[in-house]
Amino acid sequence: MATAITIDPRLGADASSFVSGKHAMLIDGNLVAAKSGKTFPVYNPADGTEICQVPEADAADVDIAVRAARHAFDGGAWPALTPSQRGRLLWKVADLLEQHTEEFAQLEALDNGKPVSVAGVADVPLAVDLFRYMAGWATKTLGSTIPISAGNDFLSYTVREPVGVVAQIIPWNFPLLMAAWKLGPALATGCTVVMKLAEQTPLSGLRLAQLFVEAGFPPGVVNILAGFGEPCGAPLAAHDLVDKVAFTGSTEVGKLIARAATGNLKKVTLELGGKSPAIIFPDADMDTAIAGAASAIFFNQGQCCCAGSRLFAHESVFDQVVEGVSHIGSKIKIGPGLDPTTELGPLVSEEQFDRVTSFIKSGHEQGAKVGTGGKRHSDRGYFVQPTLLHNVRPGMKVVDEEIFGPVVVAQSFKTDADLQRLAAQANDTVYGLAASVWTRDISVAHKMARMIKAGTVWVNCHNVFDAALPFGGYKQSGWGREMGAEVLNNYTEVKAVTVKL
Ligand code: NAI
Ligand code: MG
């Protein structure tokens, strides 16, 4: 059904010309519509209006894309490139992306709702940096020479080879950055990719697809689809010609992906949910700790898998921390992502708005007290006030489950002498993605870092990311690591070669 669509006047010329153009997916080097001809609407979460229509891929498009990726991996131009040439292509994508920083920041703000000022200094530059970092690894997928005891007249060495065709399924919270995290290492190691974008936020990924064409990637190496979980993601995760699937999203769907992969035992990596603790000791620099704890949860509207969503503060500073974080929360400027003065945008979708507000409601029902927030903001769009809940305990839904919104639960702890007990409290979750510890005592900091079961521990900071640092989860937060040298292991097979001399 055709509806009259108005282009947001705050978009620059490039973003508005992209949004108003005809949208296409990237399959086998061509920018194409879905085989079925179907499209679906993309919504602006700041007001719920339709932005545009994009192609809707289903199993038929998945099959064409996977065969193209298979063909590109098994022969042709891609495996013929040298590592240096592969690296240069990735570097070229980084350059192109950087040249379009403002446009991408605007697309993210429009589609996801996040503040454009944040996307312009975080999402886009981090994606650029990731591509550059991974470009460097293209020439450094090293093996080793291994002395063996079968005899001195043997030469044994290992080589790392690309794992093959990779399916990548990404979420909506950092649409461009998640695409970069996944595409960078896969392409650096020489894999080919079929990526499915999140249905809530396909715009930046479809624009990125054009940059891959412009950079000169051979056909079939990168394929980018827009579509929904069941009809598009599921057949991709199950496809027999796919060698590996990499997924970021909910733990629930992560389990489905692992199951879907069993058909041909494809390799699986998963980056899933979290309920990360931020732990404030009484000796911490309180201004830093309070501002840090606030930003740990309110950054990106709380839609971060590593959000500091369980706040623990020592009883002697608990009231100060609750008041401080609440005060910051109450002062945050809420508005549409495209407003350059906005600090907190809407949640990504009506579904997420309903989820988050129903968590807050259950907090009220189970006896939580409100330090700040607790309500929707504006009657239009999917805005939720920055919210702090206290008087909470394990067993309450708001404490046990991932909310994925700007909602933090604050609990106090008693004795700083018994770190083990505190660590047990911090570890009392099925997740293990991240944690932050706020103290000036280096011994306490390192002891906590040892005892916390999570893939990332921050000390006196939270949400610090770098392309060089591995990121991923213990327990039900996932399998494998993204970024750093670590991620290359996910995209390579190791071959041991032994020669009798
Ligand atoms: P989701 O896990 O359903 O979506 C993530 C991606 O998986 C999307 O691309 C989606 O289309 C795809 N997908 C969904 N069902 C699939 C299936 N059966 N087979 C293959 N792919 C499938 O997450 P959703 O529903 O958007 O959000 C629900 C909750 O998940 C959030 O409230 C949050 O708690 C968590 N989440 C965690 C993220 C993270 O970064 N770890 C990101 C997004 C959501
Ligand atoms: Mg879902």
Assign 497 a pLDDT band (cuts: 50, 70, 90).
very high
In this prediction, residue 498 carries a pLDDT of 98
In this prediction, residue 294 carries a pLDDT of 98
Assign 237 a pLDDT band (cuts: 50, 70, 90).
very high
Is 161 tagged catalytic?
no
Distance CA 281, CA 9 (A): 47
Residue labelled with tokens 């589609």: 111
> Which residue of 251, 253, 259 sits with most ligand 1 atoms within 8 Å of its CB, as the best mutation to test the pocket?
253
**Ligand 1 nearest atom to the CA of residue 355, by list position:** 32
Is 305 tagged catalytic?
yes
- Say yes or no: CB of residue 188 within 6 Å of ligand 1: no
Q: Is 221 helix (H, G, I), strand (E, B) or coil?
A: coil
In this prediction, residue 415 carries a pLDDT of 72
**DSSP state at residue 394:** B
- Is residue 417 scored above 70 in pLDDT? no
Give distance in angstroms: CA of 171 to centre of ligand 1: 6
Assign 1 a pLDDT band (cuts: 50, 70, 90).
very low
Which residue, judged by its Cα, is nearest atom 4 of ligand 1? 249
Mean pLDDT for 355-360 is 98
Distance CA 429, CA 378 (A): 33
Distance CA 222, CA 229 (A): 20
The per-residue pLDDT of the chain, averaged, comes to 97
From the list 52, 232, 305, 306, the catalytic residue is 305
Q: State pLDDT tens for residues 307-349.
A: 999 999 999 999 999 999 999 999 999 999 999 999 999 999 9
| Phi, psi (deg, nearest 5) at residue 433 | -90, -50
Residues forming beta bridges with residue 12, ordered by sequence position: none
Mean pLDDT for 242-258 is 98
- Say yes or no: CB of residue 162 within 6 Å of ligand 1: no
CA angle in degrees (0–180, nearest 5) for 422-427-430: 155
- Say yes or no: CB of residue 276 within 6 Å of ligand 1: no
Residues forming beta bridges with residue 267, ordered by sequence position: 244
- Say yes or no: CB of residue 256 within 6 Å of ligand 1: yes
Give distance in angstroms: CA of 352 to centre of ligand 1: 11
Please report how many Cα atoms fall inside a 13 Å half-sphere around the Cα of residue 229, on the Cβ side: 14
Q: Are 25 and 13 in contact (CB under 8 A)?
A: no
Give distance in angstroms: CA of 296 to centre of ligand 2: 24
In this prediction, residue 7 carries a pLDDT of 86
Mean pLDDT for 455-476 is 98
In this prediction, residue 5 carries a pLDDT of 74
Give distance in angstroms: CA of 172 to centre of ligand 2: 11
Residues in contact with 23: Cβ distance below 8 Å, sequence separation at least 6, in sequence order: 39, 52, 53, 54, 55, 202, 206, 226
Cut 0.85: pTM above it:
yes
Q: Which ligand is nearest to the CA of 200?
A: 1
- Is residue 416 scored above 90 in pLDDT? no
Q: Are 336 and 51 in contact (CB under 8 A)?
A: no
Closest CA to 108 of 40, 19, 47: 19
Give distance in angstroms: CA of 255 to centre of ligand 2: 12
Q: State pLDDT tens for residues 172-223.
A: 999 999 999 999 999 999 999 999 999 999 999 999 999 999 999 999 999 9
Q: Which ligand is nearest to the CA of 229?
A: 1
Assign 3 a pLDDT band (cuts: 50, 70, 90).
low
Give distance in angstroms: CA of 171 to centre of ligand 2: 9
From the list 103, 108, 271, 482, the catalytic residue is 271
Q: What domains sit in the chain, N to C, each tagged with a CATH number? A: 13-272+478-497 (3.40.605.10), 277-468 (3.40.309.10)
- Say yes or no: CB of residue 250 within 6 Å of ligand 1: yes
